[in-house]
Structure 1
């Protein structure tokens, strides 16, 4: 199975002022271990993340690479890895279809790994994540970390159903490993 992950609010703590340096990348408990567990069972893992901080001129691509370097190094210490990291650097006012709720990054990942939407699950914490997954026709898991509790409280639109609800990435990984998809 191809497991697509939002980054902020799913793997690391979401920040209103953006993650601007490796020091500001604070991992959600058990998130890295969940990725390593999925790796150990042969799943491909790809981050699909909006990073408008680039389009807004807050950080540049080199700084983002340093942030993702910390993520990759931290995963490697747990025998985990990412098969790819896809980024939509667009500012909201210049959004392309790559920027969620557009499905561009999700479709790109499915093509790259030659899998169907039925063989793909997207794990996110926001309505736009779930909308992107719905547009790409893949399975959807909403985690209650990051913006997840607020998203759930606001209600998930009927046309986006079915959406599985998980406490966090660790529980979402258990859903996948238990064969719910």
Structure 2
């Protein structure tokens, strides 16, 4: 069963039809929308500031989300996929964005709607990735514009697949909600 822990008077709020893996951890001021999935060993640590997540977001295995005390929050829009082993620290991720495996997104960075951050990238503090852009590298740099329809198709396919995967676990009686 997932670890859901209150701290400083904040208890995580979990939307409808969410899947929390058995060893996922949600702490403090964390708000999940509907149809989200938080996968194995993912940690959403809203102990020092807030983490607000929209609908149909998947946060894959080993990812860590955290913030800076009184300085940064995490805001994640709808239909976002956060790949395996991603670190997001006090950043904003807009609707339909895709964050590739092993990426690091630092404080006050903004990843625009439908944007893609390539696997293994390091998005530095205060970087703004505009809608539909593909960024990659360490530090991450603009690579090219992504066709909006292609980006939407890729990102929505991943988001829908993760809804399907989470249903497999719910069918087997492993769901927490």
Interval containing the TM-score (normalised by the shorter chain): under 0.3
TM score, norm. by length of structure 1: 0.26
**Which of the pair has the greater relative contact order for Cα pairs under 8 Å at 6+ separation?**
1
Q: Which has the larger share of strand?
A: 2
TM score, norm. by length of structure 2: 0.27
